[in-house]
Homo-oligomer: A and B are copies of this chain.
Amino acid sequence: MSKCEQCIVREFSSLKSLSKEELLNISGCKTSKTIKKGEVIFEEGESLNGVYCVKDGICKLTKLSANGKDQIVKLVVKGDLLGQRSLIVNEAVNLSAVALNNMEVCFIPKDEIFSNLKNNSDFSMDMLKQMAHDLKESDNVIVNMAQKSVKQRLAEALIYIHTSFGVDKEGFLNVILSREDYASVVGTATESAIRVLSQFKKEGLIATSGKRIKVNDVEGLKRIE
């Protein structure tokens, strides 16, 4: 079993303040897991007995709305933890996590996290910082949802994915979402998302090949009203 201490992901994650001994403890009780594209890591309402540390791959966090549609609340990458929020308040998770490509995750049991929170104030602080950051992001999302048009939201989603997750050798976005997923990110009907993407394509702001999307003109997307 690989050691957490040597995991490249560690330096990006909230785990960076843990000492060698603490990391060894985690290594000893963690379980690695491979998750295939499309598979569910956990589902809204489930109780988790620990957190997942994302070693590789990308997943979406979704929440089921009253009208039966899924809303994508966040995209999660390498280095992020999954499930820490619900662990801390000791509740069932409020979001579902679904892999968007093949993933490598490590499951770290609850007790391990709590004992480190209790004994290592730097770790607590990092966790606090992570949550404070997430909270700020959430505030931004709320304002965007409330005040911007579908076109603007979709343009921003494309820019966000472009800059945060990067592109492959051909220039296509590394994160591949279905049109339905895009609709679910910006909170609109699938047809509306398709229409707006078609328009962006006509205007040369993006190019597509199947479900792969290439962002040609970030500045142009920023100017969308």
**In the complex, A135→B73 CA distance in Å?**
11
Partner of A94, one of B65, B131, B139: B139
A88 at the interface (CB under 8 A from B): yes
**Total contacting residues, chain A, CB less than 8 A:** 43
The digit string for A6-33, where 1 denotes a CB below 8 A from any CB of B, is 0000000000000000000000000000
The digit string for A40-63, where 1 denotes a CB below 8 A from any CB of B, is 000000000000000000000001
**Could you tell me the dominant secondary structure of chain A's interface residues?**
helix
A79 at the interface (CB under 8 A from B): no
Partner of A139, one of B95, B117, B136: B95
Q: With a CB–CB cut-off of 8 A, which chain B residues contact A147?
A: 65-67, 69, 71, 187
Q: Is the CB of B148 within 8 A of A145?
A: no
Q: List the interface of chain A (C-beta within 8 A of B).
A: 63, 65-67, 69, 71, 73, 84-86, 88-89, 91, 94-95, 117-119, 121, 124-125, 127-129, 131-136, 138-148, 186-187
